[in-house]
């Protein structure tokens, strides 16, 4: 992500750091959906998770409670205000690192995470190929990439398209495009679901 575009997007998300969609706790229905994902893909105590686009830390806290102190969550966001909120919410979690930076700018140790959990963030990567090429080497062999949204891609893309803001071009690619992107990073898609109940893609590092 260019420094110029990074600043514009960071400013946009700063302006929304206290909006309900970014700051209030998950609903019971949303928590239920997240718990099903955790069980389905084997996120357990001791798991190490990379979380790009953590926002105010809602998912970060949920995951930190699952993995416990024997696990680790490294979370990123480009919005200083959202990062500040996340750090306040997780100040007592010693097994969590919250970093204000674009994921594409960071250098990770190879084979260091069990999971990459992209929740409500994948459309916002301006260079999705670069984002994946940066993150996936940090996955252990047989580690999993999870891309998840509470809504389907048709709804998400329509909302972004109509936004008239810096996110108006932030789209979830079609499955053919994502398959090609993942194949180039030696990732095999295990499951793909895209409907009104939500968007889910899980791929394993082979």
Low-confidence residues of the chain: pLDDT under 70: 1-5
What's the pTM value of the predicted model, to 2 decimals? 0.94
The predicted pLDDT at position 2 comes to 54
- Cα 147 to chain centroid, rounded: 7
| pLDDT value at residue 16 | 84
pLDDT tens for each residue of 97-145: 999 999 999 999 999 999 999 999 999 999 999 999 999 999 999 999 9
Say what the pLDDT of residue 204 is: 98
């Amino acid at each position: 992500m260019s420094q110029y575009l990074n600043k514009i997007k960071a400013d946009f998300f700063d302006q929304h750091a206290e909006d309900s969609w970014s700051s209030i706790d998950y609903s019971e229905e949303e928590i239920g959906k997240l718990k099903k994902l955790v069980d389905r893909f084997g996120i357990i105590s001791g798991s190490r998770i990379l979380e790009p686009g953590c926002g105010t830390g809602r998912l970060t806290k949920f995951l930190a409670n699952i993995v416990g102190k024997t696990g680790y969550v490294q979370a990123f966001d480009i919005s200083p205000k959202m990062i500040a909120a996340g750090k306040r919410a997780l100040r007592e979690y010693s097994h969590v690192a919250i970093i204000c930076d674009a994921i594409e700018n960071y250098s990770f140790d190879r084979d260091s995470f069990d999971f990459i959990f992209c929740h409500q963030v994948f459309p916002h990567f301006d260079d999705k190929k670069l984002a994946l090429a940066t993150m996936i080497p940090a996955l252990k062999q047989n580690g999993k990439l999870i891309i998840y949204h509470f809504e389907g891609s048709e709804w998400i893309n329509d909302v972004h398209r109509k936004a008239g803001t810096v996110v108006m071009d932030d789209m979830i690619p079609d499955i053919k495009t994502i398959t090609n992107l993942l194949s180039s990073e030696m990732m095999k898609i295990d499951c793909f679901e895209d409907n009104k109940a939500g968007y889910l893609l899980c791929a394993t590092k082979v």
